[in-house]
Structure 1
Amino acid sequence: MGVRSKLLFNNTHMLSVADAIGAGDGVVDSKSLQDRLGLGQSAVQRILVALEGVGLMERLERQARTEPIRFQRVTHPFWDAARELAYA
Protein backbone atom coordinates (compact mmCIF):
# COMPACT_ATOMS: atom_id res chain seq x y z
CA MET A 1 0.00 0.00 0.00
CA GLY A 2 2.88 2.37 0.77
CA VAL A 3 4.32 2.26 -2.75
CA ARG A 4 0.95 2.90 -4.38
CA SER A 5 0.26 5.71 -1.90
CA LYS A 6 3.64 7.29 -2.64
CA LEU A 7 3.05 7.13 -6.40
CA LEU A 8 -0.47 8.57 -6.18
CA PHE A 9 -0.11 11.15 -3.43
CA ASN A 10 3.64 11.54 -2.94
CA ASN A 11 3.01 10.37 0.63
CA THR A 12 3.64 6.81 1.82
CA HIS A 13 0.92 6.88 4.47
CA MET A 14 -1.95 8.77 2.76
CA LEU A 15 -3.83 5.63 1.65
CA SER A 16 -3.60 3.90 5.02
CA VAL A 17 -4.80 7.03 6.84
CA ALA A 18 -7.58 7.66 4.29
CA ASP A 19 -8.64 4.01 4.55
CA ALA A 20 -8.84 4.26 8.35
CA ILE A 21 -10.83 7.48 8.12
CA GLY A 22 -13.16 6.04 5.48
CA ALA A 23 -13.80 2.91 7.55
CA GLY A 24 -14.61 4.80 10.74
CA ASP A 25 -17.62 6.72 11.98
CA GLY A 26 -16.42 9.96 10.40
CA VAL A 27 -14.86 11.70 13.41
CA VAL A 28 -11.15 11.17 14.05
CA ASP A 29 -8.30 12.70 15.96
CA SER A 30 -4.60 12.47 15.31
CA LYS A 31 -3.80 10.43 18.43
CA SER A 32 -6.34 7.68 17.71
CA LEU A 33 -5.07 7.35 14.12
CA GLN A 34 -1.46 7.25 15.34
CA ASP A 35 -2.28 4.46 17.75
CA ARG A 36 -4.35 2.46 15.27
CA LEU A 37 -1.85 2.73 12.41
CA GLY A 38 1.43 2.84 14.32
CA LEU A 39 2.44 6.12 12.70
CA GLY A 40 4.11 9.19 14.15
CA GLN A 41 2.28 12.34 15.13
CA SER A 42 3.79 14.51 12.40
CA ALA A 43 2.87 12.06 9.61
CA VAL A 44 -0.76 11.79 10.70
CA GLN A 45 -1.17 15.49 11.47
CA ARG A 46 0.30 16.48 8.10
CA ILE A 47 -2.23 14.23 6.30
CA LEU A 48 -5.19 15.50 8.33
CA VAL A 49 -4.24 19.11 7.59
CA ALA A 50 -3.82 18.30 3.87
CA LEU A 51 -7.24 16.60 3.77
CA GLU A 52 -8.73 19.59 5.56
CA GLY A 53 -7.04 21.92 3.07
CA VAL A 54 -8.76 20.27 0.11
CA GLY A 55 -12.15 20.17 1.84
CA LEU A 56 -12.31 16.44 2.65
CA MET A 57 -12.15 16.98 6.43
CA GLU A 58 -13.50 19.70 8.70
CA ARG A 59 -11.87 20.65 11.97
CA LEU A 60 -14.24 20.41 14.92
CA GLU A 61 -14.30 22.97 17.71
CA ARG A 62 -12.60 21.94 20.95
CA GLN A 63 -14.37 22.37 24.27
CA ALA A 64 -11.09 22.51 26.20
CA ARG A 65 -7.50 23.23 25.22
CA THR A 66 -6.45 19.81 26.54
CA GLU A 67 -8.92 18.03 24.25
CA PRO A 68 -7.40 16.54 21.09
CA ILE A 69 -8.09 18.28 17.80
CA ARG A 70 -10.81 16.29 16.07
CA PHE A 71 -11.80 16.23 12.42
CA GLN A 72 -15.09 15.31 10.74
CA ARG A 73 -15.01 13.44 7.43
CA VAL A 74 -16.87 15.27 4.65
CA THR A 75 -19.06 13.12 2.41
CA HIS A 76 -17.18 12.62 -0.85
CA PRO A 77 -16.47 9.78 -3.32
CA PHE A 78 -12.78 10.06 -2.39
CA TRP A 79 -13.29 7.91 0.72
CA ASP A 80 -14.68 4.92 -1.20
CA ALA A 81 -11.99 5.31 -3.85
CA ALA A 82 -9.22 5.46 -1.23
CA ARG A 83 -10.56 2.32 0.45
CA GLU A 84 -10.61 0.49 -2.90
CA LEU A 85 -7.11 1.66 -3.81
CA ALA A 86 -5.77 0.60 -0.42
CA TYR A 87 -6.70 -3.01 -1.12
CA ALA A 88 -6.30 -3.22 -4.90
Structure 2
Amino acid sequence: MGSGVGDRSKLLFNNTHMLSVAEAIGAGEDIVDSKSLQNRLGLRQSAVQRILVALEGVGLMERLERQARTEPIRFQRVPHPFWEAARDLARA
Protein backbone atom coordinates (compact mmCIF):
# COMPACT_ATOMS: atom_id res chain seq x y z
CA MET A 1 0.00 0.00 0.00
CA GLY A 2 1.28 3.50 -0.85
CA SER A 3 1.59 6.51 1.38
CA GLY A 4 -1.23 8.68 -0.01
CA VAL A 5 -3.91 10.23 2.17
CA GLY A 6 -6.45 7.61 1.10
CA ASP A 7 -4.06 4.80 1.94
CA ARG A 8 -3.23 6.21 5.38
CA SER A 9 -6.91 6.82 6.02
CA LYS A 10 -7.78 3.24 5.09
CA LEU A 11 -5.10 1.88 7.42
CA LEU A 12 -6.08 4.11 10.35
CA PHE A 13 -9.85 4.24 10.06
CA ASN A 14 -10.76 1.47 7.60
CA ASN A 15 -12.27 4.27 5.48
CA THR A 16 -10.50 5.76 2.47
CA HIS A 17 -12.08 9.21 2.86
CA MET A 18 -12.14 9.75 6.65
CA LEU A 19 -8.77 11.51 6.79
CA SER A 20 -9.46 13.91 3.91
CA VAL A 21 -12.89 14.79 5.31
CA ALA A 22 -11.46 15.26 8.84
CA GLU A 23 -8.64 17.42 7.45
CA ALA A 24 -11.15 19.60 5.58
CA ILE A 25 -13.28 19.97 8.71
CA GLY A 26 -10.27 20.74 10.90
CA ALA A 27 -8.90 23.34 8.49
CA GLY A 28 -12.23 25.06 7.82
CA GLU A 29 -14.98 26.85 9.68
CA ASP A 30 -16.44 25.47 12.91
CA ILE A 31 -19.75 24.73 11.17
CA VAL A 32 -19.88 22.53 8.07
CA ASP A 33 -22.59 20.92 6.03
CA SER A 34 -22.48 17.68 4.12
CA LYS A 35 -23.27 19.34 0.78
CA SER A 36 -20.37 21.82 0.89
CA LEU A 37 -17.93 19.10 2.00
CA GLN A 38 -19.20 16.84 -0.75
CA ASN A 39 -18.67 19.54 -3.38
CA ARG A 40 -15.29 20.67 -2.05
CA LEU A 41 -13.86 17.15 -1.85
CA GLY A 42 -15.62 15.62 -4.86
CA LEU A 43 -17.09 12.78 -2.81
CA ARG A 44 -20.51 11.14 -2.85
CA GLN A 45 -23.08 12.44 -0.39
CA SER A 46 -23.38 9.04 1.26
CA ALA A 47 -19.62 8.88 1.93
CA VAL A 48 -19.52 12.35 3.51
CA GLN A 49 -22.70 11.81 5.51
CA ARG A 50 -21.44 8.47 6.87
CA ILE A 51 -18.21 10.12 8.07
CA LEU A 52 -20.04 13.06 9.67
CA VAL A 53 -22.34 10.66 11.52
CA ALA A 54 -19.32 8.63 12.70
CA LEU A 55 -17.57 11.79 13.93
CA GLU A 56 -20.80 12.80 15.67
CA GLY A 57 -20.99 9.35 17.26
CA VAL A 58 -17.60 9.77 18.94
CA GLY A 59 -18.33 13.32 20.08
CA LEU A 60 -16.16 15.22 17.58
CA MET A 61 -19.12 16.85 15.79
CA GLU A 62 -22.51 18.07 16.97
CA ARG A 63 -25.51 18.05 14.64
CA LEU A 64 -27.29 21.39 14.41
CA GLU A 65 -31.03 21.76 14.09
CA ARG A 66 -32.34 22.49 10.60
CA GLN A 67 -34.76 25.37 10.04
CA ALA A 68 -36.27 23.64 7.00
CA ARG A 69 -36.15 20.14 5.56
CA THR A 70 -34.58 21.53 2.39
CA GLU A 71 -31.54 22.82 4.29
CA PRO A 72 -28.44 20.65 4.25
CA ILE A 73 -27.62 18.92 7.53
CA ARG A 74 -25.08 21.06 9.37
CA PHE A 75 -22.59 20.00 12.01
CA GLN A 76 -20.47 21.98 14.43
CA ARG A 77 -16.90 20.90 15.08
CA VAL A 78 -16.15 20.17 18.75
CA PRO A 79 -12.72 21.43 19.89
CA HIS A 80 -10.37 18.45 20.18
CA PRO A 81 -6.70 17.61 19.42
CA PHE A 82 -7.98 15.16 16.79
CA TRP A 83 -8.47 17.98 14.26
CA GLU A 84 -4.85 19.11 14.35
CA ALA A 85 -3.70 15.48 14.18
CA ALA A 86 -5.93 14.87 11.14
CA ARG A 87 -4.45 17.94 9.41
CA ASP A 88 -0.92 16.76 10.17
CA LEU A 89 -1.59 13.20 8.99
CA ALA A 90 -3.27 14.35 5.78
CA ARG A 91 -0.31 16.56 4.93
CA ALA A 92 2.39 14.04 5.87
TM-score grouping bracket, smaller chain normalisation: over 0.9
Q: Take 1:44 and 1:71, find their aligned partners in 2: how far apart are those partners? A: 12
Q: What corresponds to 1:12 in structure 2?
A: 16
Q: What corresponds to 1:76 in structure 2?
A: 80
Q: Take 2:41 and 2:58, find their aligned partners in 1: how far apart are those partners? A: 23
Q: What corresponds to 1:61 in structure 2?
A: 65
Q: Which runs of 5+ in 2 are unaligned?
A: none
3-state SS of paired residue (1:68): coil
| Superposition deviation, residue 26 in structure 1 | 1.0
The letter of the residue matching 2:73 is I
Deviations 1:6-58 (A, max 9, x none): 00000000010000000111111111001000000110000000000000000
Q: Take 1:44 and 1:69, find their aligned partners in 2: how far apart are those partners? A: 11
3-state SS of paired residue (2:46): helix
- C-alpha RMSD of the superposition: 0.5
Q: Which runs of 5+ in 1 are unaligned?
A: none
The letter of the residue matching 2:44 is G
| Superposition deviation, residue 64 in structure 1 | 1.0
Dislocated runs of 4+, deviation >6 Å: none
| Superposition deviation, residue 2 in structure 1 | 0.3
The number of aligned residues is 88
TM-score of the pair, normalised by structure 2 = 0.94
